[in-house]
Structure 1
Amino acid sequence: MIAKVPAKRNDGNSSFSTLGKYLVSEKLDKETGEIVRDARDVHVETNCLSVNTAAAEMRAVAEMNGRVNDPVYHAVISWREGEQPNDKQMMDAARQAQAAIGMDGHQFVYAIHRETDNHHVHMMVNRVHPDTHKAVYPDRDFYKLDKCMREVELAQGWQHDRGPYAVVDGKIERTKREAVAPPLPTKARDLEAATGCQSLLSYSQAASPELVAAVDAGDWQALHASLRKHGLEIREAGQGFKIYDIADPSATPVKASDVAPALGGGKLKKRLGEFQKPLRIVLAEKPVRTYNPYREKQQDGRDERREARAAARLALRQQFDTEKRQQLVHHKEQREAEKFALSDLAMRTRAERERIKLQGLPAEDRRARLSVLAMTAAAERERIKRTGVDQREAEKVKGYRSWCGDRATQGNPAAIAQLKGWEYQESRRRRAGEREEEAAAARGAIRAEVLAHDTPAKPLVLDEVAWSVDRRTGDVTYRLRGVDALRDTGRQVSVLQPTDDLSIEAGLRLAAQKFGSTLTLTGSTEFQQRAVRVAVEQGLGVRFADPAIEAYRLQIQQQRDGQRNQKEIGNAKRSEWDHRQIQNRDGRSNGREGR
């Protein structure tokens, strides 16, 4: 596991609203416009009143501290490729990380994203405490978060990533300074990962032990000589210093304090006094090595072979990107076709409804036909949506690693080389993990298997419905699995099997199709609570007219989303379930309702 604090905006003025929208909204492919992350798949947790109002609430609290210019704290916790944490584990890790940086009790929004091979959770936290209005600026949060990651790895059973903290004999210890290079800034680290080139900062950090030793000697000229040996030089920059590449003075320099803390402006002047320029005798020395983003060529041909493999892997990646774009375009076309089919269904349903109303039929016949039309339309809508989901799932864009595995089985040399490279990298990690497991086994340990996500198939509720019409009254009775499940009497839908969740779901879907998304429930308290739970669990998107029932729905929704802090959900009156009020209404019907 790794924790990353993304780079801030250049103006230093981050936005709760902008970040919040990114966390909870869908994600589009920039080239094709295809949705690669559906907003419905984003699991969110917050201790604000709601996700929709979180940004405004955080902004209001932040404004209580006029000295804070940038109250937004954003961090990302990411798991290794192949690890499948569940929602609870990811939210627990986020809460533990927030506490580790000293922001326990601050307003937060956590959002889980799974559109990449590395499942991750975003943390948006308000630096300003909602009660004290004091701002927190975590000191050395990189180290605190890294230590927290080791703690979570131990608690949840994940493999250990490398960082300033390591797990030794089951205990978390700070690694020796010389064993871990100072952390690269986010942009430099991302650039190296994307290009495969070594940054000037990374090159300078490799020489940092020698540079620190020169500082310990207490002589500016010793530091200049050590820097020149590596093709570097130090210059004053404001209150601090910067490191330059001698061979290319126009290249962007790096902060000396990023190379090594001992080279920071205050510390360096305290140790060596005011800055001194290098003497001529120092400038006369030729560098032993110089900075080059690419390694010097070896004479045995290994570099040429390595570059050939790299070129083949690059071509392989480009092929994957091309196929992925084509698949995303196809998915976009499928979604457009699905939208057109739903729009056409809605138009045909409206036209048929008007035609039935204009036929001059007896009230009973008209009511029966409208009920059957609503059920048929709801079933067709469900079928269209389910077909689209099934098609996209069957043609889901694979991750790069899985795609390479398919090509490797076909004998593609570049794919085979790529898989071998990954395996070599992971074998080193496994060996380190095996040593830790051996030490743990000697002490005694309990291990847990990590289960992959298994999304259950959605019940085909409306596809299983049959119906019959009472010609005398016009009531329509719907049968589900051979049993009378629902009865539509025109102004209400009665659930004839009030303890059967599938019957309740079918009734809610039919009522939503007939009456809209806001419904009124009658019946026993047990039935109403069960209906609310079914609506939430199946994601039906309905609301309830009764404030107490709607408050209960919100409470269940928050619980399902993993909400732990319930004291701020709505106001106190809405958050209480008034049993007496509901029981007083048992058996009564008020307009559009289901029983």
Structure 2
Amino acid sequence: MIATKIGKKSSVPDNYTRLGEYIAAAEEKGEKLHQFWICNCDAGTNIEDLDLALLEIEAVRRQKPDIADKTYHLVVSFRPGEQDRLSKDDLMAIEAEYAKALGYADHQRVAGTHINTDNFHMHIAFNKVHPGTLKVITPHRDFKILAKVSREMEKKYGLTIDPGMTDSKERDPNKLSPAARDYEAHTWQESFQRHVLKHRKEILEGLGKATNWQEVHKVLAGYDINLKLRGNGMVLTSLDGQPMKASQLDRSCSKKKLEERFGIFEAQQTKPRGKGGQRAKTKHHYKPKPIVRHRNTAALWRRYLCNRKHLPIKPSWKARALRNWKIFLLTEAYQDPLAMTLIIAHREMLKTFTIEQHKAPQPSLNESNNFRERYHKFL
């Protein structure tokens, strides 16, 4: 089961009566009301009492005229067939658990289940204004609350488990961020984040021995890493400006954790130096390299670097394109079979990391000729 809060659109006024009538009528095409009940209203608990109950709820809501959003609309979706395993009492008990967890146990609400749609689901319309105290309750981080209750109800009633985004999972410390993956996809070069994570263990060992901010900067400088403040957090940046969150290296490297150890952040004062005043050596430089390695990659890579070195200060669009290893290979593939080999190797590597169910066909001579024809048209 999946519980989802339906947020209020800024352009649509808050209309609880309209929502209550929708839940009771099940107006969507092919939709049919399955069960219906009302809670914490003196008017009653059944569908026959809806009109009076809505008037009662609106009377409470009018006591808070300055509040624009006074409705919490929750939709709980079930798997097909589960409606046959849940009685009305079960559904009411599930709804009551959500109400209790969200802080709405004593609040007025209208609830109903709908069938004959793509999936069996339950609507719950909570009045956020407490009928006694008139306090307006808005749950904090409710997505975690909803996920927790959903897992508990699935186990209690033997329903299909639908793991949510908040379920505890071990975070893969070597997983690249979307920005780093995009960089590698567009350039076919090693991203700065991959460089950092490659030396993650050594960096963390060095940071663990640091006693102040300057020692932290010295450790990071050994890997071509700068530490800077950005917004409310910290980022690690490369010499060419690629950033990554400091917490992506490790949770202990977040701004909060580091300032607990070393006090308020201090920027790097001088270039790190070793013994005798000599500039400290960088242990591992960050130099973008081809992701795909081939026994003849080095020759093409040297040619690529040479071309970049001799680009004019104000390059043409073609020269700017050649600053990218991927575009360079596409350009060279028109006349250099080795470049075509690397492109095919890169494509095969990508297939290895996809979830394709069938094996893709191997590149053929016709496929290579088609590529050359497309590239010729591009030029």
Smaller-chain TM-score bracket? 0.3 to 0.5
The structure number with the bigger radius of gyration is: 1
- TM-score norm. by structure 2 comes to 0.47
- TM-score norm. by structure 1 comes to 0.32
